[in-house]
Chains A and B, each alone.
Chain A
């Protein structure tokens, strides 16, 4: 029943590995995002997709590659993981509306790179 679901919830891996996080939303929204929340709780936009098309890439290293096979899914693949990638990654979605609309967040994926 979760509107925005992402897996896995926890991810522990070593430096240099490649990992993926998956996200799906069943709200029928046309826009999906990846946000990164660091240890200080700052929430920063990474990517924005609208109807499967990349709209925004917020100066994220190209080791991060998002993929949207359809408008209900937005996955995040990370190559050559570094210690500084440790954070909580949130997927989110919203329906585009003229006066703005709320973001719906997934439960987050806590990535720990050792």
Chain B
């Protein structure tokens, strides 16, 4: 089954700087990699996802990159704002396709104004 490692566990950045969170996965058959943001006391919400047929995807200040050879994917947030402060989770399917998502252990991002 899939094993997802996420780093760092905590990250503090100054407002306006960039933040990068990295994840590795173990199952080379995995083909779908979402990122979730969880604010305090709320549910995880999808912010961006990437499928294995592309190497990068962008949505305004958020981007995700995927390196299938190295089996890692990263979340990039540019021009960080205080409202970006939250816990971020990466995930990958336990096996390929539509099996349950296995989550990384989360990164607590703090954006300091």
- Which A residues have a C-beta under 8 Å from some C-beta of B? 31, 33, 40-45, 48, 56, 58, 90, 94, 96-108
Min CB gap A53→B, angstroms:
14
Residue among A41, A100, A101, A104 making CB contact with B87, cutoff 8 Å: A41
| Interface hit among B15-23, B55-63, B77-85, B98-106 | B98-106
Residue among B42, B51, B53, B106 making CB contact with A42, cutoff 8 Å: B106
Check if A43 sits within 8 Å of B51, measured CB to CB. no
Most B Cβ at <10 Å: residue of A43, A58, A108: A43
Mind listing 22 A-B residue pairs with CB under 8 Å?
Answer: A43-B106, A44-B103, A45-B101, A48-B100, A56-B99, A90-B43, A94-B98, A96-B97, A96-B98, A98-B97, A98-B98, A99-B31, A99-B97, A100-B31, A100-B49, A100-B97, A100-B98, A103-B91, A103-B101, A107-B42, A107-B43, A108-B42
Dominant SS among interface residues on chain A: loop
Closest residue of B by beta carbon distance from A58: B100
Known contacts A45-B94, A107-B43; A100 and B105 CB within 8 A of each other: no
Min CB gap B113→A, angstroms:
24
Question: Which 3 residue pairs across A and B have the least CB separation, nearest first?
Answer: A100-B32, A105-B43, A43-B103
Specify which chain A residues have a CB less than 8 angstroms from the CB of B103 in the assembled complex: 42-44
Check if A103 sits within 8 Å of B34, measured CB to CB. yes
Q: Is B89 engaged at the interface, CB distance under 8 Å to the other chain?
A: yes
